[in-house]
Amino acid sequence: MKLAGKTVLLTGAASGIGRAQALMFAKEGAKLIATDINQEGLDTLLEDINALGGEAIVVKGEVSDSAQVAGTVKAGIDEFGQIDILCNTAGIFDNYATSLETDEVKWDKYYAVNVKGPYLMCNAVLPGMLARGKGVIINVCSIAGLTAGVGGAAYTSSKHAIVGYTKQLCLEFADKGIRVNGIAPGSVATPLIRKSLENDADGYSKRIAMIPCGRLGDPTDIANLTMFLASDEAEWIHGAILSIDGGRFAKG
pLDDT at position 252 over 70 = no
SS (H, E, C) 18-83: HHHHHHHHHHCCCEEEEEECCHHHHHHHHHHHHHCCCEEEEEECCCCCHHHHHHHHHHHHHHHCCC
Instruction: Order the strands of the 241-244 sheet from edge to edge.
Output: 55-60, 31-36, 7-11, 85-88, 135-140, 178-185, 241-244
pLDDT digits (tens, 9 = 90+) for 205-251: 777 888 889 888 999 999 999 999 999 999 999 999 999 999 988 86
The fold of 7-244 is: Rossmann fold (3.40.50)
pLDDT of amino acid 196:
65
**Poorest-confidence range of 25-34, 152-161, 242-251?**
242-251
pLDDT digits (tens, 9 = 90+) for 164-201: 999 999 999 999 999 999 999 998 988 767 776 676 66
pLDDT of amino acid 177:
98
Report the mean per-residue pLDDT for the chain: 94
* Cα 248 to Cα 252: distance, rounded to the nearest angstrom: 9
Instruction: Give the catalytic positions in this structure.
Output: 155
* Cα 60 to Cα 64: distance, rounded to the nearest angstrom: 13
pLDDT of amino acid 183:
98
Q: Map out the domains of the chain as residue ranges.
A: 7-244
Tally the residues of the chain. 252
pLDDT digits (tens, 9 = 90+) for 54-110: 999 999 999 999 999 999 999 999 999 999 999 999 999 998 999 999 999 999 999
pLDDT digits (tens, 9 = 90+) for 111-154: 999 999 999 999 999 999 999 999 999 999 999 999 999 999 99
